[in-house]
Chains A and B, each alone.
Chain A
Amino acid sequence: MKVEQRPAESKSPATLSDKATLLKLHREMLLVRRFEEKTAEMYQAAKIGGFCHLNIGEEATIVGTISSLRPDDYVYSTYREHGHAIAKGIEPNAVMAELFGKETGTSHGRGGSMHLFSQEHRFYGGYAIVGQALPIACGTGYSITYRERDEVVMSIFGDGATNIGAFHESLNVAKLWHLPIVFVCVNNLYGMGTAVNRASAVTEIWKKACAYNMTGERVDGMDVLAVRRITDQLVEQARAKHEPSLLECVTYRYRGHSMSDPDTYRGKDEIKEWQGRDPILTLGDHLKQQKLLTDQEIQKIDEEVTAEVEAAVKFAEESPEPDPKELFRDVYAEAGAA
C-alpha cells in the first residue's frame, strides 16, 4: 500500500537537519528494534509469560512521535508498548524486568508486558482494553488545563481502536473542552487478523477527526523524519493553542499480532514489501548520504544498543521475584500514599 502524505505546512527543515537529533532518532529506533528482537527470543525461551505484542516495524512511528515530547509531557499507550516506554525514557532494564515479572520492573512484576508504567517518566501506562486509555488521557488533559500548566498528552492507540465508542467520546470532548492532546493512531493495517477495510467504514483514519472539527493528519509512519516533523507541529498546536489533533501514522508490524499469532491472514509478499521500506535502514541511508554517519559508525551504534539490551536481560535475570508476602500490596492506596 502506498501512503500519500496529507499536505501539511512543513516546519523549517532545519529542525531536522540537526545532527544530534538525527542520530538520536536513529539510535532510539535501533534500540527499540534490538530490544523487541531480544524480547521475542526471551519469550520463546519462556522467560516471559502471558501475551506479548511486539513493535518491530513500527519504530519510525514510535520514535518519531514520542521524541517530539518534553520529559514532563504525558504518554498513554496500549498493550503494544515496550518501544513507547523506552522512547519515553524508561530504562530498558526496567522494561525487560517487567516482562520477566520481576520486582525491579516498571510495575514491580504486577503488570507485565501489557501494563508498563512510570510516574517519573510520565509514561501513564499500557492499557490492554482496546480504546480504554483515550478517555483517561482526556482526564489528564483536563487536569493540565485545570491547573493551567503547559504540558501535552499523547494518546497512542491502534487502528482497531478507532471503531470503538471510547474513541469517539474522547475526540468529542477533547475538541469541546480544548484539551492539549495529540491522538496518535498507529495504523498498522490490521487489528489482530482483521484488515482495516474489513473493520472500518472509513479506511483513511485521519478523516475521523473531521467529524469533531479537529485537525486530522496522515503521515507515512515508516519515515521517521516525516513523522517527527508533523508531530512537532501538532504538539506545538496542543501546547500553545490547546487544540487537539488526530495523527494517523501508516505503518506495519513485521511480526504477528502477538507472539502466539501464526500470521495466516496476510501474504508473505505484503510483509516483504513493507520490510523493503524499513524505517531504520531508510534513515541510515539518509544519514550516510548526508555524510553524517559511516557504515562503521552504524555498526558501532548497533553493537552499543545490542549490549544495552543484553545488559537489560542480565538485569532482569538477576532481579528478585516479588515477595509472595506482598501479594496484596497496592490493591488500595493507604492514607498518605504517593
Chain B
Amino acid sequence: MPVLTMRDALNQALREEMKRDESVFLLGEDIGLYDGSFKVTRGLMKEFGEKRVLDTPIAEEIIVGAAIGAAMSGLRPVAEMMTVNFIMVAMDQVVNAAAHIRYMFGGGTKVPLVIRTPGGGGHQLGAQHSHSHENWFAHVPGLKVVAPGTPADAKGMLKSAIRDDNPVMFIENEGTYAVKGEVPDGEHLVPLDKNDVKRQGDDITICAHSRMLIVAMDAATELEKEGISAEVVDMRALRPLDMMPVIESVKKTSRLITVEEGWRSYGVGAEIASRVYEEAFDYLDAPVARIGAAEVPAPYNKRLEKIAFPGKADVVVTAKALLGKN
C-alpha cells in the first residue's frame, strides 16, 4: 500500500472527489494560487481551474455563508478555514445557519457542506493560533463532526464527508500534516459515524482523536514495555458520537482514560465519561481520568507551552496511577 503524509492523503481525497463529481468545489483563503497555508490543496487550482478552486478574500463569514448557499443550490462545497481559530468570526453561519437550516425549514432543503479546518497547538503560536475547539461544534445538533488521526482515515473520511448530505466539520491538526501512513489507493471510504479500536489491549482503555491518537498510541507502546496492555480507541467520529467501541472496551478493561488536545472543561472527555457512567458504570473499577490542555490561553514560551499541552508522559503516568502501579 502506498505510504502518504496526512497532507497528501487529504489532497488525494479532494482530487478524487473533484474528478468524480463536477458539483464539488473548494473555497477558502489562499487555497489556490498559494497552494494552501498547509499545502493541503496543492496543485488543485492548476488542475481544476479558478472556478472550482476559489480563492476568497479574508472574510470567514462570507466563506462559510457562501458555502451554505451554494450547498442549498445544488453544489457540494468544501470550505477551508485557515485554522479553527479563525472560524470564530463565522460561528453564526456555522451554528445558526448551517446546522439549523434543514430543521428550521422543515426539511425543505439540505446543506451538503464540508468545512475543513486544522486545530492544535505546540508550535509556539500563542493564544490565538493554538487551540482545539471540536467540542464547540460537537455540541450542536445538525452538524457532523469528525477528527481523523491517521492518513488513511483522513482520506476515507474526507471522501465520505464530501458525499454526505449534511454540514460536516472536518477537524484536522497542524501537528499531523506531515505524519505518514499507509493509504489505500482510489475508492477508500471510511464512515463518519464509526469509532475504531486502533490497538487491542486488556488492562486499560485510552480514548483519543486527531493528534492525541498518535500520543495515545505512543503511550500504549511505552506502557507495554512496563507490562501494561492498553487498548486505544480512536474517537474520530465525535458527532454523531459512536460510543460502542468504548463501551465494549471498558467492559473488558474496567478503566478509561480520555485524551484531548483542548481544555477538559465541558469537553470531549467529559462527554465520553458521562456516557460511560450512564451505560457501563458497573464495569468500572476506577473513575474515568480525563487528560486535556492546561486551562490557560496557550502560552508562547516553549517550556510553558510544552507543559500546557498533553503529551505521552501524561498518558503513561495517568495509566499507571489508574492501575495502582506508580
**Residues in chain A within 8 A of chain B (CB atoms):** 74, 105-111, 115, 117-119, 124-125, 127, 129, 132, 134-144, 146-147, 165-166, 169-170, 172-173, 176, 329-338
Interface residues of B in 28-60 (CB under 8 A from A): 51, 54, 56-57, 59
Q: Are B103 and A330 in contact (CB under 8 A)?
A: yes
Q: Are A132 and B97 in contact (CB under 8 A)?
A: yes
Q: Which of B96, B105, B110, B141 contacts A129 (CB 8 A)?
A: B96
Q: With contacts A132-B65, A173-B56, A176-B57 known, is A330 near B107, CB below 8 A?
A: yes
Chain B positions 79 through 110: 1 when the CB is less than 8 Å from some CB of chain A, otherwise 0: 00000000000001100110001111111111
Q: With contacts A107-B106, A119-B109, A169-B59 known, is A124 near B65, CB below 8 A?
A: no
What B residues does A115 contact at CB under 8 A? Answer: 104-105
Q: Does B273 have its Cβ within 8 Å of any Cβ on chain A?
A: no
What B residues does A170 contact at CB under 8 A? Answer: 62, 65
Q: Are A165 and B61 in contact (CB under 8 A)?
A: yes
Q: Are B66 and A330 in contact (CB under 8 A)?
A: no
A139 to B74, alpha carbons, bound, how many Å?
10
A110 to B105, alpha carbons, bound, how many Å?
7
Q: Are A137 and B59 in contact (CB under 8 A)?
A: no
Q: Are A139 and B68 in contact (CB under 8 A)?
A: yes
Q: Are A139 and B105 in contact (CB under 8 A)?
A: no
A141 to B27, alpha carbons, bound, how many Å?
14
> Known contacts A111-B104, A165-B61; can you find 12 more A-B pairs with CB under 8 A?
A107-B105, A107-B106, A124-B69, A124-B72, A125-B101, A135-B64, A136-B69, A136-B93, A139-B72, A142-B70, A143-B75, A332-B166
A333 to B101, alpha carbons, bound, how many Å?
11
Closest approach, in angstroms, between the C-beta of B62 and any C-beta of chain A? 4
Closest approach, in angstroms, between the C-beta of A162 and any C-beta of chain B? 15
Q: With contacts A146-B51, A172-B57, A176-B57 known, is A338 near B110, CB below 8 A?
A: yes
Q: With contacts A108-B106, A146-B51 known, is A172 near B59, CB below 8 A?
A: yes
What B residues does A135 contact at CB under 8 A? Answer: 61-62, 64-66, 68-69, 93
What B residues does A136 contact at CB under 8 A? Answer: 65-66, 68-69, 72, 93, 97
A127 to B106, alpha carbons, bound, how many Å?
14
Closest approach, in angstroms, between the C-beta of A104 and any C-beta of chain B? 10
**Residues in chain B within 8 A of chain A (CB atoms):** 25, 51, 54, 56-57, 59, 61-62, 64-75, 77, 92-93, 96-97, 101-110, 112, 141-142, 144, 165-166
What A residues does B166 contact at CB under 8 A? Answer: 332-333
What B residues does A139 contact at CB under 8 A? Answer: 65-73, 77
Q: Are B108 and A117 in contact (CB under 8 A)?
A: yes
A119 to B106, alpha carbons, bound, how many Å?
11
What A residues does B105 contact at CB under 8 A? Answer: 107, 110-111, 115, 117, 125
Closest approach, in angstroms, between the C-beta of A166 and any C-beta of chain B? 5
Q: Are B110 and A137 in contact (CB under 8 A)?
A: no
Q: Are B104 and A107 in contact (CB under 8 A)?
A: yes
Query: Which of A107, A144, A146, A170 gathers most chain B CB within 10 Å?
Result: A146
What B residues does A335 contact at CB under 8 A? Answer: 165
Q: Can you show 17 pairs from A to B with CB atoms below 8 A apart?
A: A110-B103, A110-B104, A117-B108, A124-B109, A127-B97, A132-B65, A132-B93, A136-B72, A139-B68, A142-B54, A143-B69, A169-B62, A173-B56, A173-B59, A176-B57, A332-B142, A333-B166
Closest approach, in angstroms, between the C-beta of B18 and any C-beta of chain A? 13
A127 to B110, alpha carbons, bound, how many Å?
15
Q: Are A142 and B93 in contact (CB under 8 A)?
A: no
Q: Which of B62, B104, B141 contacts A138 (CB 8 A)?
A: B62
What B residues does A336 contact at CB under 8 A? Answer: 165
Q: With contacts A117-B106, A331-B103, A332-B142 known, is A142 near B69, CB below 8 A?
A: yes
A118 to B109, alpha carbons, bound, how many Å?
9
A115 to B97, alpha carbons, bound, how many Å?
11
Tell me the nearest residue of chain B to A108, going by C-beta: B106
A159 to B246, alpha carbons, bound, how many Å?
52
A335 to B72, alpha carbons, bound, how many Å?
16
Tell me the nearest residue of chain A to B99, going by C-beta: A331
Q: Are B92 and A129 in contact (CB under 8 A)?
A: yes
What B residues does A338 contact at CB under 8 A? Answer: 110
What A residues does B75 contact at CB under 8 A? Answer: 142-143, 146-147
A330 to B96, alpha carbons, bound, how many Å?
16
